[in-house]
Amino acid sequence: MDQGGCQMSGGGGGGGDGDDQSGMITLEDLESFSEDGDGIEEDDKTIDDDRLLTYWQDVARGHQVDVSEEMAEPIQQLTSNNQGRSSREVIPFTLLGRKEKCGELLWEKRHYEKGHWACVTMRKETYEQSICYGFMKLMRYICQQNSLGDYLGMTLPIVTVVRTNENHSVISHDVTVAYFLPFAHQAQPPQPQDNEISIEIWPATTAYTRPFTGPTNEVTIVNQINAMAEQMDSPGLANDSFIVAGYTNPAHVNRQNEIWFLERP
């Protein structure tokens, strides 16, 4: 991030109709734009805008998601403004403890201070659709559709709040996608133009976090929740809603994620 948010890992779409894909942007191309810091040449800007939009449309099609033409500018802005990790703020936290086994990190206990978040709740036919459409709404807010009319800056991770049934086997398609406002905007959060996005103050909280890599779909999230539950044995943890935190470009093959269990107030 999406760094976090929109599920676009693993290819998934496009190429099946036999069309020539030579003009498509590859995963490696996208990573070179946003991770390695290789800039987009000004003379090639229009071409790259088209290639980026086409790439997003092609991959999203595999998840039955439509990426409209109006997403071209937000996609380009996020790509060009997030060259290199130093341009992205990490949500601050205090590490309270951690548990390892045979060199593997099982979980970390962290304290997060209260702060302003931009949130949008979506309900589509699938979980993947919900997080894709929610993330695209936040992209537009971050990139200009706000009361400042300016790019706000990127923070990591982008999080999705997921809800499950009692035995953690089914995920609700009501998904909240949330973006932590950069420090410069915490005191006076820019207001969204989209009335489906709300600015909320999330209270200080303690989270138990567990890292995992790869795509974030319904199957992997259920598996990660149950794997985390096996490591934790605390009745004071929330047991029906969880957070999936994404740190890596949504198109990255080995996307870096975390599952968060929250302590009840």
Tens digit of pLDDT for each residue in 181-219?
Answer: 999 999 999 999 999 999 999 999 999 999 999 878 888
Q: Which fold has domain 1-265?
A: Multidrug-efflux Transporter 1 Regulator Bmrr; Chain A (3.20.80)
Q: Is 126 or 160 the better-scoring residue by pLDDT?
A: 160
Tens digit of pLDDT for each residue in 116-151?
Answer: 999 999 887 778 778 878 888 998 899 889 999 999
Give yes or no for residue 17 having a pLDDT over 60: no
The predicted model scores a pTM of 0.74
Domain extents in the chain:
1-265
User: 3-state SS of the chain?
Assistant: CCCCCCCCCCCCCCCCCCCCCCCCCCHHHHHHHHCCCCCCCHHHHHHHHHHHHHHHHHHHHCCCCCCCHHHHHHHHHHHHHCCCHHHEEECCCEEEEEEEECCEEEEEEEEECCEEEEEEEEECCCHHHHHHHHHHHHHHHHHCCECCCCCCCEEECEEEEEEECCCCCCECCEEEEEEECCHHHCCCCCCECCCCCEEEEECCEEEEEEEEECCCCHHHHHHHHHHHHHHCCCCCECCCEEEEEECCCCCCCCCEEEEEEEECC
